[in-house]
Amino acid sequence: MELDEHLRFIGRALKDWFVARLSDSLALGVMWWVALRLAHVPLALLWAVLAGLLQFVPHLGPVLSVVGPGGAAAISGGEDRFFLVLVAYVAITVVNGLLVEPLFFKRVAHIPIWASLLVPIALGLAFSFWGLVLAAPLLAVYYAYWRRPAQNRIDQRPPQHR
């Protein structure tokens, strides 16, 4: 395989990862929008869009996504509404982290669920922040190469005789 073929292959794997991440962000934003609407939090759509965008920031994004709606709930509805936002945050984080995100990565980027849960933890422990940031794209590239022998490869074709 030539360098340009490797680069195209890696590009396709990263595109699949990006599509999975976008799908996950959209699903997360919808979950936030529904929860915030049910809790009557002002500017629910804004906070939901922000939560979806912050999903691209590993591990810190979900925490930051609760600050805005939590503040808006506390100001507009007091402790009860603030508590509802915190419950929604916990529920959405658990459902997204253990179900939605791994399913999108399995379906779109063909990353096994166990790998999408364990590898970021291992790389985060080994390489701190950069391990967390790079875990998902590296997994996408690794599993794309791992699946490759089952596909029709260019270098497996019989040589052409002239």
Q: How many domains does the chain have?
A: 1
- Residue 157 forms part of a structural domain: no
Q: What is the pTM of this model?
A: 0.77
- Residue 160 forms part of a structural domain: no
40: phi > 0 → left, psi -120 to 50 → alpha, else beta; which?
A: left
Alpha-helical runs (H) found in 39-161: 44-54, 61-64, 67-95, 101-109, 113-147
- Residue 119 forms part of a structural domain: yes
pLDDT tens-digit map of 61-105: 889 999 999 999 999 988 899 999 999 999 999 999 889 988 888
What is the arithmetic mean of pLDDT over 43-61? 91
- Residue 12 forms part of a structural domain: yes
**Residue 12, domain extent:** 3-149
CB of 25 within 8 A of CB of 109? no
| Phi, psi of 113, deg, nearest 5 | -60, -45
Q: What is the 3-state secondary structure (H, E, C) of 143-161?
A: HHHHHHHHCCCHHHCCCCC
Confidence of residue 149 (pLDDT cuts 50, 70, 90): low
What is the arithmetic mean of pLDDT over 57-64? 84
Q: At residue 134, does pLDDT exceed 60?
A: yes
Nearest to 119 by CA among 103, 142, 99: 142
Confidence of residue 115 (pLDDT cuts 50, 70, 90): confident
Confidence of residue 159 (pLDDT cuts 50, 70, 90): very low
Mean pLDDT of all residues belonging to the chain:
87
Q: At residue 152, does pLDDT exceed 60?
A: no
Residue found by looking up tokens 């779109």 in the block:
108
Confidence of residue 158 (pLDDT cuts 50, 70, 90): very low
